[in-house]
Amino acid sequence: MNQLNLYHIFYTVAQCGNISAAAKKLYISQPAVSKSISRLEENFASPLLIRSSRGVTLTENGRLLYRQLETAFQAIRQGEEMISKNDLLGAGSLSIGVSTTLCKYVLLPYLQDYIAENPYVKVSLSCQSTYETIAALESGTLDLGLVGESERLESSHLNFFPIREIHDIFVCSPEYLHKLGGSGESCSSHVLLEQVTFLLLDKNNVTRQYMDKHMLLQNLTMEHQIEVTTMDLLIDFARIGLGIACVIGEFVQQELKEGSLVECSIREPLPPRRMGFAYPKSGKPSAAMNAFLTQVKSQIPETFSP
């Protein structure tokens, strides 16, 4: 019998306080229990139990060993539980592709709740453009992607689970609008547009391409442009009066409320679009991903109809 088994028998006897009860719990005979305890005491050259007709009591060395074994066996149980949960969730990992903007404004609250409920799942994030995320999903190097609807997504071999509607709007500082001669939310004449500096995301961005298509349909040109790589920079640039920025309206509600930004009407408003999670159609989603999507579904507002 190996040393770990001897420790387990001793630990059970100490818990039960009785050799007979321990034998029943361990499904072995009383003589086998007694022999194991004796062997352990021989190894330590010290008595661990005091036997009597009422049961057993621990010696000082027995109490010392029991306390250490209690800590060790508790750690083993926790390890077994973690492995069990890990097996329950498949590989125990979840990789998500997302743009910096969507990560900050949309994904983080979902992740916070998910990690709190599933601390044993390894979550990895790849902050990249929507097109890079879609390509990674198609190649199988990502499990899940948070993306906005686009023509590229529609032509992909991916499932799309929408979670909310978003609205692209034009905003600027009140001072910039006043400088252009605008009042209220007016900024729509051709003459005025020729004076505007547009703050835009780079041309590889889905939001930028969606806005470009809309402007083309309205036969509107943007003569003066400043391009940046993130929406946070667009918001900051617009706030300090560098121009009119095309941003996702849901992400500037605080600025609009406090008045540091105002919405500008550029002819017809851009039609709303949807954002959501994309994942490969082929292959079975892992339990970790299913658990994440189930949580996301439970938090979608009832007013939203995918």
Domain holding 32: CATH number? 1.10.10.10
For residues 81 and 100, membership in a common domain is answered with no
Instruction: Give me the domain span that covers residue 28.
Output: 3-88
For residues 26 and 14, membership in a common domain is answered with yes
Q: Is residue 306 in some structural domain? A: no
Q: Is residue 18 in some structural domain? A: yes
HEC string for the chain:
CCHHHHHHHHHHHHHHCCHHHHHHHHCCCHHHHHHHHHHHHHHHCCCCEEEECCEEEECHHHHHHHHHHHHHHHHHHHHHHHHHHHHHCCCCEEEEEECHHHHHHHHHHHHHHHHHHCCCCEEEEEECCHHHHHHHHHHCCCCEEEEECCHHHHCCCEEEEEEEEECEEEEECHHHHHHCCCCCCECCCHHHHHHCEEEEECCCCHHHHHHHHHHHHCCCCCCEEEEECCHHHHHHHHHCCCCEEEEEHHHCHHHHHHCCCEEEECCCCCCCEEEEEEEECCCCCCHHHHHHHHHHHHCCCCCCCC
For residues 205 and 186, membership in a common domain is answered with yes
For residues 174 and 136, membership in a common domain is answered with no
For residues 152 and 294, membership in a common domain is answered with yes
For residues 70 and 154, membership in a common domain is answered with no
Q: Is residue 198 in some structural domain? A: yes
Number of domain units in the chain: 3
pLDDT in tens, the chain (306 residues): 678 888 999 899 999 998 999 889 989 999 998 999 899 889 989 898 998 888 889 999 989 999 999 999 898 888 877 766 655 554 478 999 999 889 999 999 999 989 888 887 889 999 998 889 999 999 989 999 999 888 888 888 899 999 999 999 999 999 998 887 755 444 544 446 677 899 999 888 888 888 888 888 888 778 889 999 889 999 999 999 999 999 999 999 999 999 999 998 877 788 999 999 999 988 788 888 988 999 999 888 776 666
Q: What is the CATH number for 179?
A: 3.40.190.10
Q: Which of 58, 88, 118 marks a domain boundary?
A: 88
Q: Which of 33, 53, 88 marks a domain boundary?
A: 88
